[in-house]
């Protein structure tokens, strides 16, 4: 994938560009807001990574201008401003996701992939399917290999999120945000226990296991290659 | 420069205003006095004129002889200290009358005049003041009627003296009162000013004296002292935080530095580098957690998040958080129960209340021993809504309960467990922001923490 990185801190920018390239992506890096806007308008990218505080044009204005020109390229805002109202401001300006500095690279990568995939547009489905696991959104039922599985409401929500992003890495923070609307990380890894319970129900006694733990990043629901 | 010495000082302005008013008032009183004091004399003049008219009529009707008789009769009738009558040939020869001579200065005409006369009695001589009216009859003879107004004049002059004296006293007294009042009022303002000066000069313990009266100045001084106390508290807390930050961030930083130094100095084999880096990353993450938690608490305490208050369902908050911790509690062999009242609406920041709740649940799970029970309860208590998390862990001794709400306080019994030591400080900050009372109680056994919100 091809990303445009607009970040004025040269060390942070170099590090991030290098890490993204090592993950197999193409990165255009600029350190100035106006320049970033012009490149975003004249070139095609899969997603933009935009810092908020930038020289010549701040990140939010950049995104607003981009949206006014009718561009729908997904934008991930990265900022040291972490309060909930700052996040809301970022999303109102037209950002698609908001990541607070400092962040783990795996978190940023997971979110970028989700953004790009979302942009490619999944059709409105009523039934989600991964291998022989089926989730019926209307009846709110789950089957694996034709066998019904009973899930608690929260487990259902977690599984739904994982299935909507099947094949992608989903981080603990993403699950907390989407299922609980919590924009903070509790001190204990509470999500891990939810996942292990969910795994007991959907993977135990079935083959192959679908719910994987991605070390240092999160989880992914995917068919083995 | 001393501000009260300036021309624009309030004390001077007040004194000038008082004086100006007193002078105006005095002038008004004086004018009124003169107008009233003049009235008796006009009365006398009118009487004299009508009596003179009477005698003239008598003369015209009955002739000069009868007039002389009438004058003699009236002289007989009235003592000289009261009325005076004169019927004279000219201004020299008196035909009939109270006085032996025609007084100097008395002219015929309509004008009444005050004439000083030397009166003699067999025993002493004294001067009398007569008010007299005279006229010239057809036969060129003179007729005059008068009243002795000496007593009246003496009384009037005494009155004038008294009035002038009183006015003087009033002005002087007014000035004194004005100066005194302004001095006493401004003295208190000046004392406040001096207190501020003291505090600015570094004597932070200085306070304004509050009188026993409870008047507006006392109230002002009291409020002012409260402000100073709050300010001092903030300063103290800031110093505490600085000390805490210095301690709690410097310790891991020194550890990290030592480790990096050792790795660079080649004291560890290269194959252990990866392990070192992992440990450093973990340590960095812990420090970042501590740092953001501190920052977050500071933001809440400065009330910068006030604008995100909404009306929310307290039961929903409790249910969501309990849902999140249910599996963790079960894994730890703990029974997490919810007991929700339903329909409890409070005004608050959803994110902060959720985070405070997860902090409480985190602690409850961390400090409980299996088997045990954790309860999340919401309850209506009068006009307030209680949100309560209780466990059956070791609890907190009563003497430590106040203490654990401060930053970085971790009881010795919990030194070994993970955590920033900021969880309860965060809860306390959130409670304060929401005007919620925070209670730490004995759950017999265990700890019960209650946040008591005002109902929306």
Q: Copy the structure tokens of residue B22.
A: 């007193």
DSSP secondary structure, B131-143, as one string: EEEEEE-TTS-EE
Mean pLDDT of chain A: 91
> Tens digit of pLDDT for each residue in B353-376?
999 999 999 999 988 988 999 999
Nearest CA to B33 among B155, B166, B153, B160? B160
Residue with tokens 């002078």: B23
% helix / strand / coil in chain B, to the nearest 5? 55, 20, 25
Instruction: Select the more confidently predicted residue: B126 or B183.
Output: B183
Domain spans in chain A, listed from the N-terminal domain onward: 2-120, 127-221
B310 in reach of chain A (CB within 8 A) = no
A188: closest CA of chain B, how far (Å): 7
> Does the domain made of B21-156 have the CATH classification 3.90.920?
no
User: Is residue B284's pLDDT more than 80?
Assistant: yes
With an 8 Å Cβ cutoff, is B325 touching chain A? yes
Read off φ and ψ for residue B105, nearest 5 degrees: 95, -10
pLDDT at position B401 over 70: yes
**pLDDT single digits (tens) A4-57:** 999 999 999 999 999 999 999 999 999 999 999 999 999 999 999 999 999 899
Query: To the nearest whole angstrom, how far is the Cα of A40 from the nearest Cα of chain B?
Result: 33
Where residue B409 falls among pLDDT bands split at 50, 70, 90? low
For residue A172, the chain B residues in CB contact (below 8 A) are none
In chain B, pLDDT over 90 holds for what percent of residues?
Answer: 20
| Mean pLDDT, rounded, of chain B | 83
Q: Domain B216-301 adopts which CATH fold?
A: Helix Hairpins (1.10.287)
Residue A66 to residue A75: CA distance in whole angstroms: 10
The CATH homologous superfamily for domain A2-120 is Response regulator (3.40.50.2300)
Which residue in B289, B300, B358, B418 has the most chain A C-beta atoms within 10 A of its own C-beta, making it the best mutation to test that interface?
B358
Q: CA angle A130-A135-A136, nearest 5°?
A: 140
Q: What backbone phi and psi angles, to 5 degrees, belong to B343?
A: 70, 25
State the Cα–Cα distance between residues A210 and A190, nearest whole angstrom. Answer: 21
Integer Cα distance of B426 and B297 in angstroms: 6
**Residue B365 contacts A where some CB pair is shorter than 8 Å:** yes
Give percent above pLDDT 70 in chain B.
91
Residue A83: which of B305, B355, B358 has the nearest Cβ? Answer: B305
> Measured on CA atoms in the order B217, B219, B222, B224, is the torsion positive or negative?
negative
Alpha helices (runs of H) in B265-387, residue ranges in sequence order: 273-301, 314-331, 350-367
Any idea which of A133-142, B31-40, B345-354, B378-387 has the lowest mean pLDDT? B31-40
Across the interface, whether the CB atoms of B323 and A154 are under 8 A apart is answered yes
Higher pLDDT among residues B135 and B434, named by residue: B434
pLDDT of res. A92: 92
Question: What is the side-by-side order of every strand in the sheet holding A2-6?
Answer: A26-30, A2-6, A47-51, A75-79, A97-100
Decide whether A2-120 matches A127-221 in CATH topology: no
User: What is the C-alpha to C-alpha distance for residues A81 and A50, in angstroms, rounded to an integer?
Assistant: 13
How many whole angstroms separate alpha carbon B170 and alpha carbon B163?
A: 10
Residues 84-103 of A with CB under 8 A from B: 84-85, 102
CB within 8 Å of B92: residues ≥ 6 apart: B101, B102
Cross-chain residue pair A188–B362, CB shorter than 8 Å: yes
Of the candidate CATH numbers 3.40.190.10, 2.40.30.10, 3.40.50.720, 3.30.565.10, the domain formed by B306-454 belongs to 3.30.565.10
Please determine, for residue B410, whether its predicted confidence score (pLDDT) is greater than 70: no
Would you tell me which residues 331-350 of chain B have a C-beta closer than 8 angstroms to some C-beta of chain A?
331, 349
pLDDT at residue A149 tops 90: yes
Lowest-confidence region among B105-119, B184-198, B375-389? B105-119
Please name the fold of domain A127-221: Arc Repressor Mutant, subunit A (1.10.10)
Cβ partners under 8 Å of residue B398, min gap 6:
B442
Angle subtended by helix axes A10-22 and A105-120, to nearest 10: 60
Nearest neighbour of B324 by CB, restricted to A183, A190, A196: A190
User: What do you get for the CA distance between the two ends of chain B, in Å?
Assistant: 54
Please state the domain extents for chain B: 21-156, 216-301, 306-454
Residues 6+ away with beta carbon under 8 Å from A69? A41
- Angstrom CA distances, B358 to B315, B327, B355, B406, B439, stand at 14, 14, 5, 18, 17
ipTM above 0.90, yes or no: no
- What phi and psi, each to the nearest 5 degrees, are found at residue A68? -65, -30
């Amino acid at each position: 994938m091809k990303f445009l990185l607009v970040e004025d801190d040269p060390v942070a920018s170099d590090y991030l560009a290098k890490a993204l390239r090592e993950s197999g992506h193409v990165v255009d890096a600029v350190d100035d807001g106006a320049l970033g806007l012009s490149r975003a308008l004249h070139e095609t990218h899969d997603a933009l990574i935009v810092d908020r505080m930038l020289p010549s044009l701040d990140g939010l204005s950049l995104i607003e201008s981009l949206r006014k020109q009718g561009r729908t390229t997904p934008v991930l805002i990265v900022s040291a401003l972490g309060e909930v109202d700052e996040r809301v401001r970022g999303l109102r300006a037209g950002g698609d996701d908001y990541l607070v500095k400092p962040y783990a690279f795996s978190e940023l990568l997971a979110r970028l992939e989700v953004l790009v995939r979302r942009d490619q547009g999944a059709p409105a489905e009523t039934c989600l399917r991964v291998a022989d696991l089926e989730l019926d959104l209307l009846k709110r039922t789950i089957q694996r290999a034709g066998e019904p599985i009973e899930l608690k409401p929260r487990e259902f929500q977690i599984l739904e999120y994982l299935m909507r992003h099947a094949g992608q890495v989903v981080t603990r923070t993403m699950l907390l945000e989407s299922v609980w609307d919590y924009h903070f990380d509790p001190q204990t890894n509470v999500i891990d226990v939810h996942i292990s319970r969910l795994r007991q129900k959907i993977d135990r006694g079935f083959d192959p296991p679908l719910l994987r733990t991605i070390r240092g990043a999160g989880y992914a629901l995917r068919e083995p290659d | 420069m001393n501000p009260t010495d300036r021309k624009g000082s309030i004390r001077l302005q007040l004194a000038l205003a008082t004086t100006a008013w007193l002078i105006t008032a005095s002038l008004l009183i004086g004018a009124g006095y003169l107008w009233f004091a003049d009235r008796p004399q006009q009365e006398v003049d009118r009487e004299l004129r009508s009596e003179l008219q009477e005698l003239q009529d008598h003369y015209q009707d009955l002739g000069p002889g009868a007039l002389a008789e009438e004058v003699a009769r009236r002289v007989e009738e009235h003592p000289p200290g009261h009325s005076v009558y004169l019927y004279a040939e000219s201004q020299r020869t008196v035909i009939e009358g109270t006085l032996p001579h025609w007084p100097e200065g008395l002219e015929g005409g309509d004008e009444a005049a005050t004439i000083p006369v030397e009166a003699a009695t067999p025993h002493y001589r004294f001067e009398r003041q007569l008010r007299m009216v005279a006229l010239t009859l057809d036969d060129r003879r003179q007729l005059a009627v008068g009243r002795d107004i000496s007593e009246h004049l003496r009384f009037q002059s005494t009155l004038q003296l008294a009035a002038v004296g009183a006015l003087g006293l009033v002005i002087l007294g007014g000035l004194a009162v004005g100066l005194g009042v302004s001095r006493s009022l401004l003295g208190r303002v000046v004392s406040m000013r001096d207190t501020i000066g003291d505090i600015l000069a570094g004597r932070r313990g200085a306070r304004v004296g509050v009188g026993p009266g409870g008047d507006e100045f006392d109230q002002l001084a009291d409020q002012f002292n409260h402000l100073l106390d709050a300010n001092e508290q903030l300063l103290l807390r800031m110093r505490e935080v600085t000390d805490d930050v210095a301690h709690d961030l410097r310790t891991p930083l020194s550890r990290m530095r030592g480790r990096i130094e050792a790795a660079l100095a080649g004291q560890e084999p290269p194959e252990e580098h990866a392990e070192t880096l992992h440990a450093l990353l973990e340590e960095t993450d812990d420090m970042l957690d501590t740092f953001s938690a501190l920052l977050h608490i500071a933001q809440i305490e400065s009330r910068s998040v006030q604008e995100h208050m909404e009306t929310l369902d307290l039961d929903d908050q409790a249910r969501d958080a309990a849902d999140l911790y249910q599996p963790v509690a079960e894994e730890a062999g703990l029974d997490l129960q919810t007991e929700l009242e339903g329909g409890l609406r409070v005004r608050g920041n959803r994110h902060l209340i959720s985070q405070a709740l997860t902090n409480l649940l985190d602690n409850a799970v961390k400090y409980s021993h299996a088997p045990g029970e954790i309860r999340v309860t919401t309850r209506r208590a009068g006009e307030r809504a209680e949100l309560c998390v209780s466990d059956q862990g070791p609890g907190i001794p009563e003497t430590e309960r106040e203490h654990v709400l401060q930053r970085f306080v971790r009881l010795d019994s919990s030194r070994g467990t993970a955590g920033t030591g900021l969880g309860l400080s965060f809860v306390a900050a959130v409670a304060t922001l929401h005007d919620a009372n925070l209670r730490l109680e004995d759950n017999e056994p265990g700890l019960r923490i209650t946040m008591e919100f005002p109902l929306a």
